[in-house]
Amino acid sequence: MSTVSVAMVDMNNKKVKDVTLPALFGAEVKPHLLHSAVVNQLANKRAGTASTKTKGLVSGGGKKPWKQKGTGRARSGSNRSPLWRHGGTCFGPLPRDYSYSMPKKMKRAALTAALAEKAKEQRVIVLDKLALAEPKTKQMSTLLATLGVSENAIVLLSSENRNVALAARNIPSVKVLRMQNINVYDLLKYRYLITTEDALNVLEETYGK
C-alpha cells in the first residue's frame, strides 16, 4: 500500500495542514471486488416479496367444466388452468430470499478498493471539523459551494451529528453516514467523499488492523 497525503481544510476551504490518509486509501484498486460487493449489497436489499398464484392457489376451479368426452371440445379439468382467462400463472415469481453472505476478507478488500479509488481520483476532502450552527439546508449548500463540490457527495462522520444530517436531508445529491455504516455501494455512487480527521481515526481503528 502506498502513502496518500491530502490537504486538510476548514469550513472556509482554507488549508490547515497536510494529513496522511489511512493506509486503506493507498491500496490496489480491484474492480472485480467492487463489482462483487455491489451485487451482494443490492441482492441483500431486495425484498423478494413478488408473488403470483398457481392454478392451485386461485379461487375456484373445483368443478370440471364439462365431461371428458362427447362434447366435441378439448378436454379440461379446471377453469383455473393457466390457459384460461383468470387462470393461474405458470412458473411465476414466489416470495424468496435473495440475500447471501460475502466472505469477510472480500468485503474488507472491496471497501479498501473503493476508498483507494476515491483517493486516486482526488475526490477526498478532509475537514478539520464539521459543525453547523443550525440544521439549515442553506448552510449545507453554502458549505458545499465553498468546498467546490458541484457533484453529489457522501459525508462520513465519526459520530451522530443532528444538525448536519438534517441540513443535508433535503439535498438529493448528498448523503450523510456515520463511519461505522460505510459501504462500497455508497462510496461508488457518490462522487466526492467529505470527511473529518476524527472520522478518519475511527476508520483506521476499525479497518486498519
pLDDT tens readout for residues 39-78: 999 999 999 999 999 999 999 888 999 999 999 999 999 9
Nearest to 9 by CA among 118, 125, 164: 125
For the chain, the average pLDDT equals 92
Whether 209 shows a pLDDT value over 80: the answer reads: no
Using only the alpha carbons of the chain, give its radius of gyration: 27
The span from the CA of 81 to the CA of 79, in Å, is 6
Q: Which amino acid is at 20?
A: T
Please name the residue that has the C-alpha cell 478539520: 128
pLDDT tens readout for residues 100-153: 999 999 999 999 999 999 999 999 999 998 989 899 999 999 999 999 998 899
Is the pTM of the predicted complex or chain greater than 0.85? no
Higher pLDDT, 161 or 2: 161
Bridge partner list, 20: 5
pLDDT tens readout for residues 162-202: 999 999 999 999 999 998 899 999 999 999 999 999 999 88
Bridge partner list, 17: 8
| Other beta carbons less than 10 A from residue 204's beta carbon | 15
Overall CATH class of domain 5-46+102-207: alpha beta
The pLDDT value given to residue 150: 86
Whether 1 shows a pLDDT value over 70: the answer reads: no
Give φ, ψ of 117 to 5 degrees: -65, -40
Domain spans in the chain, listed from the N-terminal domain onward:
5-46+102-207, 47-97
